[in-house]
Amino acid sequence: MFDKLKAELDSIMARDPAARSRMEVYFLYSGFRAVRDYRRANWFFRHNMKLIARWISQRSRHRTGIEIHPGATIGKGLFIDHGMGVVIGETAEIGDNCTIYQGVTLGGTGKDQGKRHPTLGNNVLVGSGAKVLGPFRVGDNARIAAGAVVLTEVPDNATAVGVPAKVVKVNGERISEPPCESLDQIHYTDPVEEKLTNLDKRLSELRNAFEEFENGAGI
């Protein structure tokens, strides 16, 4: 138990430059507290004591501002940075060593039964204010930009940007930096802006070509 606790603390310290000590993380980090509360609630939920499980999760929500349904499945090393406004739904699944920032929602899209929340692979980063909605998978090492609204599957080693989010692959290869060293949420190329820029460039080329034709033909 203590080895697991130490590993959780060390994973947070590796990803947060503001963390000064394990003691600071243990006592003062709301994300760490919320995950610990979730693990207790999840034990009761899995043992069919759902009222107690929900009581623990709601109490944790009031204390931390982070709402994690006790029925969610969360792997090791989850780091919820700051965390205010984070919502993780009942059938959400989160792999190992994922990072989630404030205002993130892992939610559903309606009143469907069964699996209705997203699945995050390992080493996934979800930026501030991002919404991932629906029962699809976000692949290993994927990155969701801040403010993105993701409504469809994201492949492994890819980045999703925009509203609705578009996928930008990283050369079709694994992200070279380890997850703890690659936490940029905002410096991504916006695929919509890039397409508009290309269209504007093409329009200028056609305009210039037409003007040269007019001048050459003496129109």
Cβ-based neighbour number of residue 62 at 10 Å: 8
What is the reported pLDDT for 205?
84
In this structure, are 216 and 110 located in the same domain? no
How many CA atoms lie within 13 Å of 65's alpha carbon, on the beta-carbon side? 13
Residue 144's Cβ-side half-sphere holds a number of Cα atoms within 13 Å equal to: 38
| Rounded distance between C-alpha atoms, residue 160 and residue 141, angstroms | 12
| Phi/psi at 135 (5° precision) | -90, 50
- What is the number of alpha carbons within 13 Å of residue 91 lying toward its C-beta? 15
Tell whether 158 and 198 lie within a shared domain. Answer: no
In the chain, how many domains are there? 2
Task: Check residue 103 and give its pLDDT.
Answer: 95
Other beta carbons less than 10 A from residue 168's beta carbon: 17
Looking at the structure, tell me whether residues 127 and 170 fall in a common domain. yes
CATH number of the CATH domain containing 99: 2.160.10.10
What's the CA gap between 134 and 84, in Å, rounded? 22
- Residue 172's pLDDT is 53
Query: Do 50 and 30 lie in a common domain?
Result: yes
- Indicate if 177 and 198 belong to the same structural domain: no
pLDDT at 70: 97
Same domain, 210 and 131: no
Tell me the three state secondary structure of residue 111.
coil
Burial annotation 104-139 (CB, 10 A radius, 16+ → b, else e): bbbbbeeeeeeebbbbbbbbbbbbbbbbbbbbebbb
* Residues 45 and 122 occupy one common structural domain: yes
Given strand 99-100, what is the order of strands in its sheet? 79-80, 99-100, 125-126, 143-144, 158-161, 166-169
Same structural domain for residues 38 and 101? yes
Q: What is the pLDDT of residue 49?
A: 97
Task: Tokens for 4, please give them.
Answer: 């697991």
State whether residue 211 is helix, strand or coil: helix
Each residue's pLDDT, cut to its tens digit, for the chain (219 residues) gives 778 888 889 889 998 888 899 999 999 999 999 999 999 999 999 999 999 999 999 999 999 999 999 999 999 999 999 889 999 999 999 999 999 999 999 999 877 778 999 999 999 999 999 999 999 999 999 999 999 999 999 999 999 998 888 887 665 554 444 444 455 655 556 666 667 777 888 888 888 887 777 777 655
What beta strand segments (E) does the chain contain?
67-68, 73-74, 79-80, 87-88, 93-94, 99-100, 105-107, 119-120, 125-126, 131-133, 137-138, 143-144, 149-150, 158-161, 166-169
Angle between helices 30-46 and 50-64 (to 10 degrees): 170
Same domain, residue pair 134 and 181: yes
pLDDT at 177: 46
DSSP count for the chain of H helices, then E strands: 5, 15
Question: Which residue range forms the structural domain that includes residue 196?
Answer: 189-219
- Give the pLDDT score at 201: 84
- Residue 65's closest CA among 83, 81, 53? 83
Give yes or no: residues 140 and 214 share one domain: no
pLDDT value at position 84?
93
